[in-house]
C-alpha cells in the first residue's frame, strides 16, 4: 500500500523491515528527548545497510543511490528515524569521488565492517547558514599538518561519530577572487584530537545535533581531501545525493503517518460511523496521498539520473521540496484525523510530526530550492 510500484526492491524493503521490526515505537519514544539509538544503529550496521554505498572492493555493498534511498525510506516508514545514521550515506560521495586512494583505504574498510562511523558533517556556522561561502572556520598549514580554529553549529551526531568531514576556509574570503574559492574539505578521526569541544543542542526532535568548537586543533596533513581550495565543489557533489535521500525519508514518514491515520479513521466511530466517512477527515488524507505519490515519482527520477551519472540538481531539489511538503501535509492531516490521540505520545504521530517538520528547513530551506529552480531552471533573475 501507498507505494510507487518498484517490485525489484521488495526484497530490500523486507530485509530493512525485519531489522526495524525489533525497534518499535516504544523503542523510539524511549529515546526522547535526546538519546542516540545505539542498538538500532548497531543492528543496521551489522546487517550491512549503513555500508551500502561503500564500494564492494572496500567490503561495502556497492549500492546505487536508489537502493540507499529505499533503505532510509523503509526505516522512516517503519516508524524509526533514520536521521541517526543517514549522514554515513550522504557524505560518502565526497570521499568516494574526491578522496585519495590512501584515504579510502584508511577509512572505507572500517566503515564497511562497522568499526568506524562517519556520521558527522561540519559545514554550517553560527554566522553562515545557507550562504556557505561565508564560513569563517580556518585551516592553516603548520609543520604537523593543519591547524583548525573556529566553530560549527548543527553538526549532528558529532558525539556519536568517529570521523568528521569538515569544510573550512584555507584562504580568507576577502582574499579570494570568487567566494566559492579558498574552501577546503578535510576528513579526520575526531577521537585522536585535542582542542575540540562538542556541546549538544536540545531541539524539538531527537536529532543529536551539536555545536563544535575548534581551538588550535591540529589534524594530520593527509586529512585534506583533493586539492586545497576546491572544497566547495567537492561538498556540492554530495548535496544532490543528500537531497534524494532526505526526500526518501520524507516519503517514508508520509507513508507511516498516512497508514496510521487511514487505519484510525476507518476504525474510530463518532456519531455512529467511522470518522473516515467524513470528507473533512478523508479528503486531506487523500490529498496527502496524491502528493506523496507525486513526490515519490520525482524522487525515483532524481535517483535514477544520479545513478546514471547524469545531472540531477533540479530533480534532486524538486524531490526534496515536494517530499518534505507532502510528508508535512500528511503528518498534519494525520494529527487532525487522530484528534486528541494524535497529541498523545504513545501514538507516535506527534513524534513523526516533529521529525518530518525539520525537512522543510534542513538540509536546505525549501525557499532556497524555489530560488534555485527560479533562477537556474526557469532562467529568472536571482531573487536573493
Partner 1 sequence: MKIAVCVKQVPDTWAEKALKAADSTLDRDAADGVMNELDEYAVEEALKLTEAHGGEVVVVTMGPERAGETVRKALSMGADSGVHLVDETLHGSDALATSYALAEVLKDRGFDLVMFGSESTDARMSVVPAMVAERLGIAQLTFAQKVEVSGPTVTIQRATETGYDTVEAQTPAVVSVVEKINEPRYPSFKGIMAAKKKPVETLSVSDAGLDAARLGLSAAWSQVEDFAARPPKAAGTIVVDEGDGGAKLAGFLAEQKFI
Residues lying near partner 1 in the complex (CB under 8 A): 10-12, 14-15, 18-19, 43, 46-49, 51-52, 61-63, 67, 71
- Report the residue number, 16 or 168, with the smaller CB distance to partner 1: 16
- Is residue 242 within 8 Å of 82, Cβ to Cβ? no
Tell me whether residue 21 or residue 378 sits nearer to partner 1 (CB atom).
Answer: 21
Cα(152)–Cα(310) distance, integer angstroms: 32
Minimum distance from residue 103 beta carbon to partner 1 (Å) = 23
> To the nearest whole angstrom, how small is the minimum distance from the Cβ of residue 254 to partner 1?
21
Q: Report, in Å, the least distance between residue 19 CB and partner 1.
A: 5
- The least distance separating partner 1 from the CB of residue 231, rounded to whole angstroms, comes to 30
All 3 cell numbers of residue 296?
A: 515519490
Q: 258, 264 in Cβ contact below 8 A?
A: no
- CA nearest 359: which of 260, 254, 211? 254
Cα–Cα distance, 247 to 65 (Å, whole number): 12
Query: What are 164's strand-pairing partners?
Result: 120, 188
DSSP string, 162-176: SEEEEEEESS-GGG-
Q: How far is CA 296 from CA 17, 151, 159, 300, 355, in A?
A: 19, 37, 33, 6, 19
Distance CA 288, CA 251 (A): 11
Where is 151: in which H helix or E strand? strand 145-153
Q: Does the CA dihedral 297-299-302-308 come out positive or negative?
A: negative
What's the closest the beta carbon of residue 52 comes to partner 1, in angstroms? 5
> Cα–Cα distances in Å, from 46 out to 12, 39, 277?
15, 10, 45
Instruction: Tell me, rounded to whole angstroms, the distance of Cα 368 from its chain centroid.
Output: 17
CB nearer to partner 1: pick between 146 and 264:
264
Q: What does the DSSP assignment read for 310-366?
A: ---HHHHHHHHHHHHHHHHHHHHHHHHHHGGGGGSGGGSHHHHHHHHHGGGTSSS-H
Q: CB neighbours of 246 closer than 8 A, spacing ≥ 6? A: 86, 90, 320, 323, 324, 359, 363
Nearer to partner 1, 114 or 226 (CB): 114
Smallest distance from the beta carbon of 111 to partner 1, in angstroms?
13
Minimum gap (Å) between residue 8 Cβ and partner 1 = 9
Cis-peptide, bond into residue 8, ω within 30° of zero: no
Nearer of residues 110 and 182 to partner 1, judged by Cβ: 110
What's the min distance (Å) between Cβ of 262 and partner 1? Answer: 17
Least distance in angstroms from the C-beta of 57 to partner 1? 13
Nearer to partner 1, 14 or 377 (CB): 14
In our burial notation (b when 16+ CB lie closer than 10 A, e otherwise), range 113-150 reads bbebbbbbbbbbbeebbeebeebebbbeeeeebbbbbb
* 64 vs 180 by CB, closer to partner 1: 64
Cβ distance to partner 1 smaller for residue 16 or 239: 16
Q: Whole-number minimum distance, CB 9 to partner 1, in Å?
A: 10
By beta-carbon proximity to partner 1, the closer residue of 51 and 288 is 51
Nearer to partner 1, 245 or 335 (CB): 245
Amino acid at each position: 500500500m501507498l507505494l510507487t510500484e518498484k517490485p525489484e526492491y521488495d526484497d530490500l524493503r523486507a530485509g530493512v523491515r525485519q531489522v526495524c521490526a525489533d525497534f518499535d515505537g516504544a523503542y523510539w519514544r524511549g529515546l526522547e528527548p535526546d538519546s542516540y539509538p545505539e542498538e538500532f544503529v548497531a543492528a543496521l550496521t551489522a546487517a550491512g545497510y549503513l555500508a551500502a554505498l561503500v564500494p564492494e572492493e572496500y567490503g561495502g555493498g556497492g549500492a546505487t543511490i536508489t537502493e540507499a534511498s529505499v533503505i532510509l525510506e523503509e526505516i522512516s516508514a517503519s516508524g524509526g528515524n533514520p536521521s541517526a545514521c543517514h549522514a554515513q550515506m550522504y557524505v560518502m560521495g565526497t570521499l568516494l569521488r574526491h578522496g585519495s586512494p590512501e584515504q579510502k583505504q584508511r577509512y572505507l574498510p572500517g566503515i564497511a565492517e562497522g568499526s568506524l562511523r562517519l556520521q558527522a558533517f561540519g559545514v554550517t556556522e553560527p554566522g553562515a547558514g545557507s550562504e556557505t561561502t561565508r564560513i569563517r572556520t580556518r585551516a592553516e598549514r603548520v609543520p604537523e599538518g593543519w591547524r583548525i580554529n573556529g566553530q560549527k553549529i548543527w553538526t549532528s551526531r558529532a558525539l556519536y561519530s568517529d570521523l568528521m568531514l569538515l569544510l573550512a576556509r584555507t584562504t580568507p574570503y576577502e582574499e579570494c577572487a570568487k567566494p566559492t574559492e579558498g574552501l577546503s574539505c578535510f576528513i579526520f578521526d575526531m577521537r585522536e584530537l585535542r582542542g575540540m569541544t562538542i556541546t549538544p543542542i536540545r531541539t524539538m526532535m531527537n536529532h543529536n545535533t551539536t555545536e563544535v568548537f575548534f581551538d588550535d586543533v591540529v589534524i594530520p596533513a593527509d586529512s585534506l581531501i583533493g586539492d586545497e581550495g576546491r572544497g566547495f565543489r567537492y561538498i556540492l557533489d554530495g548535496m544532490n545525493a543528500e537531497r534524494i535521500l532526505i526526500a526518501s525519508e520524507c516519503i517514508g514518514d508520509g507513508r507511516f503517518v498516512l497508514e496510521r491515520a487511514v487505519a484510525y479513521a476507518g476504525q474510530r466511530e463518532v456519531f455512529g460511523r467511522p470518522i473516515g466517512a467524513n470528507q473533512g477527515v478523508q479528503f486531506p488524507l487523500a490529498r496527502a496521498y496524491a502528493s506523496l505519490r507525486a513526490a515519490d515519482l520525482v524522487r525515483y527520477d532524481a535517483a535514477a539520473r544520479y545513478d546514471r551519472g547524469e545531472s540531477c540538481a533540479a530533480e534532486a531539489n524538486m524531490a526534496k521540496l515536494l517530499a518534505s511538503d507532502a510528508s508535512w501535509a500528511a503528518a498534519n492531516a494525520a494529527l487532525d484525523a487522530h484528534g486528541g490521540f494524535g497529541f498523545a505520545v504513545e501514538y507516535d504521530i506527534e513524534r513523526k510530526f516533529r521529525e518530518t517538520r525539520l525537512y522543510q528547513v534542513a538540509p536546505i530551506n525549501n525557499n532556497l530550492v524555489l530560488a534555485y529552480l527560479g533562477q537556474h531552471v526557469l532562467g529568472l533573475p536571482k531573487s536573493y
